[in-house]
Structures are given as C-alpha cells and as structure tokens.
Amino acid sequence: MQARGKLFTIPAIGKYVVFVSTKKQVEEASSAPIDQLSFNEAIDEQFRPHIIFNGFRFDPKDPRYSVPINAMKVRMRDNLPALIPRLVAYTNKSFQDELPKKGQHSVFDRIFQRDFTQWLLDATRKKTPQAMTRLAQHVMGLMFGGAHQLPMLLSFAMYNLCKHPEYIEPLTKEIVATRNDSSSSGYEAHDMPLMDSFLKETARLNPTVILTMPRKVMYPFRFSDGTVVPKDNWLCIPQQAIMEDQQYYDDPSAFNGFRFVRQDDDGRATASDAGKDRLFTTPTFEFPLWGPVRRAWYVPTH
C-alpha cells in the first residue's frame, strides 16, 4: 500500500477516519479497552439502530447484552450439525425449482422463526427475562447484521464459477468425495479445502465493504509511535487495500481459486503450509474480512 506502514487520515463528515496499515497498529487498536475505542458507538453513529429497531441499543452494561452473543456463538454452533442437512435439502429443492419466492421464504421461515428465536429464549437468564419487544429487536438486529455478507459472497461465488468454469469439476469431485467419506463430517473446512479456498479467494477480491473494524474514539488514543487520535474520530482497517496488496499476495488482482491450498504427498488437496490460519473462517491481518484477530466476528471450530 502507498501508506508504507504509516497511519493515514481521510476527512469525513464531522470527523476524521484514521486508517491503520500495519499488523502492529491493528494489534494496538484491537487491544484498547472497548470504552476507549468503541465498535458499538461507531455502529450507532453510522446506522442509528435505535431508530431502525424501535429504540434498541447494544449496551455492554445491559444484563441482556450477552443474549444474542450466546445465541450466535454457542447455541447456533451446537445446532449446526442438525441444521446443515436441512439447509442442503432446501437448497437442492430451491435450485431444482429455479429458486421461486416460496422456496426462498421456506428456508428463512423454518430456520429463524422456529429455531433462532428459541435459541434467544434459551440464552436468556431467568434473573433477567426478556420482554417480547427486546426479543424482537434482537432478532431484527441479527437479521440486519447478517443479511448482506453471506448472500453477496454466494452471489460472487456463482459469478466466479461462470467466469472460471474450470473450477466446477474439481469442486464437484471434492463435494462428492466428502459426502461419500464415512469418516468425514462434511461440515468442517478441512474436509473441503478446495471449496474453502475458492470461497476465501472470492471474498478476498469481493469484500462487502472496503473498510473493517470501525472504532469510535471515546477519549484520546495514543499509538506506540506517539501518534494521538483525538476524541470523536474513527479508526478503521482498509481491508480491500490489504487484501489486494502484493506484499501479502502474489499477483493480487488475479483470481486464483485454489490460492490457499497445496497438495500432499498423495496428491490430495490440503490447507496450505500456514495450516488453519489459511482457512476462510480464520481472521488474520492479511485477511481482515472478519475484523481484527482479537475481536473478530467468527466462531473458531478447529
């Protein structure tokens, strides 16, 4: 990047946005107390969720603050093995029916209304029961937060398959082999390294937003080099620039669907030498799609 490892600033409406461009800067920013560099305040300023969701705010001091986090990181993860076969069946039917509106809605209704709402109820502590209004706000907030990343990723993946049909055969063979392998769960990234790499490369070149890790400075923040960011400004990671930097990726502008895999001695595709750090769901400095490593939006499964 042209920043050459230095902090740089871009003026925005009512504030400056300071971009961190090195691993050390990212670690310093993500290690700061949440009451100094606040993600919640940045999101509140950008999207005004209290207006969209009828007065709802994410407040770490609220005893019910952990409810959606528990539902996402614990209960959804525990239920994934039971959900995935149902999703596969619905997806297959939707493709066979050419994705009519009814088929799309049936997936949404069955998964979220019958299951996800129940997980939120299960995650609620008896001492701090949730009112129906708060429960509805949690569901709306999580739907709003997760409604763009996955659909856009899958859309770009389909586009890449159309642009690069040479990937269809090896990906299909891997899927069939995994489903026929009784020793494989079929749901872990290491079971399908080619698919994992293809999706990661798709996301690398088509990030949903060009920035990540938005943080509002609640009181002055000082970096180790002496740079001070005043109150009410923002810190961000320029993720698109990092993920297209030739310092971290060979031929970064070219689509290489199997960039993150290698072949073992038996000719089978496996994760590259960096191991699980190369998997799609693992955040790294070079792949900040999920945010910084310390506080990323992901659930470790390895």
User: Would you say residue 98 has pLDDT above 60?
Assistant: no
Q: Measured over all CA atoms, what is the biggest interatomic distance in the chain, rounded to whole angstroms?
A: 60
Burial 197-218 (b: 16+ CB within 10 A, else e): bbbbbbbbbbbeeebbbbbbbb
User: Would you say residue 103 has pLDDT above 70?
Assistant: no
User: Would you say residue 251 has pLDDT above 50?
Assistant: yes
- pLDDT computed for residue 21 by the predictor: 84
User: Would you say residue 212 has pLDDT above 80?
Assistant: yes
Among 36-50, 110-124, 139-153, 197-211, name the one with the lowest average pLDDT. 110-124
Task: Give the model confidence (pLDDT) of 119-141 as tens digits.
Answer: 677 766 665 566 667 777 777 77
- pLDDT computed for residue 298 by the predictor: 43
Residues 6+ apart with CB under 8 A from 282: 276, 298, 300, 302
- pLDDT computed for residue 192 by the predictor: 87
273: left (phi over 0), alpha (psi -120 to 50) or beta: alpha
Task: Compute how many other C-beta atoms are within 10 angstroms of the C-beta atom of residue 283.
Answer: 20
Band (pLDDT 50/70/90 cuts) for residue 289 is confident
Band (pLDDT 50/70/90 cuts) for residue 89 is confident
Q: What is the pTM of this model?
A: 0.73
Among 164-168, 203-207, 261-265, 277-281, name the one with the lowest average pLDDT. 261-265
Q: By the 8 A CB rule, do 296 and 279 touch?
A: no
Q: Which of 121, 34, 110 is nearest to 70 (CA)?
A: 121
Task: Give the model confidence (pLDDT) of 53-88 as tens digits.
Answer: 666 666 666 656 566 666 766 777 677 677 767 777
Residue indicated by tokens 């609620």: 124
- pLDDT computed for residue 259 by the predictor: 92
